[in-house]
Amino acid sequence: MAAAMAACLVATSAVADQPVTLRVGDQKGGNRSLLEIAGLAKDLPYKIEWSEFPAAAPILEAINAGALDVGYTGDLSFLTVFAAGAPIKAIGGTRSDARTQAILVRQDSPIRSAADLKGKKLAGTRAGWGQFLISATLEKAGYRLDDATFVPLGPVDAKVALLAGSVDAWAVWEPYISYAELKDNARVVADGEGLTPTITFVVASDTAIATKRTAVADFLQRLNRARLWSLDHVAAYARSTADLTKLPEDVLARAYTAQRTSPIAIDDTVQREFQQAADRATRYGLVSKPVDVSKALDRSFNAASGVN
């Protein structure tokens, strides 16, 4: 009996000594490569199990399904998933210049401003930054949302459609904007300044927040430190990401310079701007009912995030 109890205690101790594994969703050229190039992926007091996805939407789906602990996504995509009941919170994030969300047209297009978008076919991501920016731009120009035709397309298909002339304009974000301007001779006719907070949230499942808090907090702090590093090392960051993504280095350098993506804390300003965006999204029909975003934001990681 004593021997059996001793064996059980040894086994329990061995399990307790095993490091926490943080399951993190990423995209190619995303947070993993940023941590590595910034030198912050070493000597972790926990393990990271990285999973690469083609976009933010499947990252959110995996967190909702319990397959991931942490990921990142644009503010509107996060809002849509949270409003649908996903057990997920935003614990930190970054802010980019709002002008790096924009509506593009071909160089030879007669469209010169938002006033010319009436009656046109406008492509963008459904229920994300693309559709939101199109709706907000039409509203600002004094048009109804049905004064133009929304064409739901992801960035790859939307680019093809714009160049082929099957849509008149395309709402998108960096680095697609820089690529389109530098390589495809596209033009910006409207942008997100004053219309969108342009926030990308770091998100975690409620379960991970409750059971892996120390690891989640450390991971968030490392991401924030890496993001600050990238602001002072744009050329090195662009070169490294170009090797991974096969995107042109000049495109990435231009995009990173324009974005000036900086870490943020979840504070009153973020909550107010996100609530305003959520209210707009409800009015535009992107979410089915009003959302109290305070319930989607977890401020308890602010002190450990390294961001004031």
pLDDT digits 0-9 by tens, 72-113 = 999 999 999 999 999 999 999 999 999 999 999 999 999 999
Q: Domain check: are 171 and 290 in the same one? A: no
Q: Domain check: are 151 and 34 in the same one? A: no
Question: Where does the chain have alpha helices with state H?
Answer: 2-17, 31-37, 56-64, 75-83, 129-140, 155-164, 176-183, 206-211, 213-232, 234-245, 249-259, 268-283, 302-305
- CA 111, CA 74: separation in Å to the nearest integer? 28
Q: Smallest Cα–Cα separation from 175: which of 55, 53, 58, 259?
A: 259
Q: In what order do the strands lie in the sheet with 47-52?
A: 47-52, 21-26, 70-74, 199-205, 88-95, 262-264
Q: What is the CATH number of the domain that holds 215?
A: 3.40.190.10
- Structural domain including 277 reads 2-96+198-305
Strands (E), 83-130: 88-95, 101-105, 121-124
Confidence tier at 5 by pLDDT (50, 70, 90): very low
Of the residues 191, 224, 243, which one is the last residue of a structural domain? 191
Q: Domain check: are 87 and 230 in the same one? A: yes
pLDDT (mean) for 195-217: 97
- CA 220, CA 217: separation in Å to the nearest integer? 5
Q: Domain check: are 209 and 92 in the same one? A: yes
Give pLDDT tens digits for 103-137. Answer: 999 999 999 999 999 999 999 999 889 999 999 99
- Give how many domains the chain has, as a whole number: 2
- Backbone phi, psi, residue 214, to 5°: -65, -45
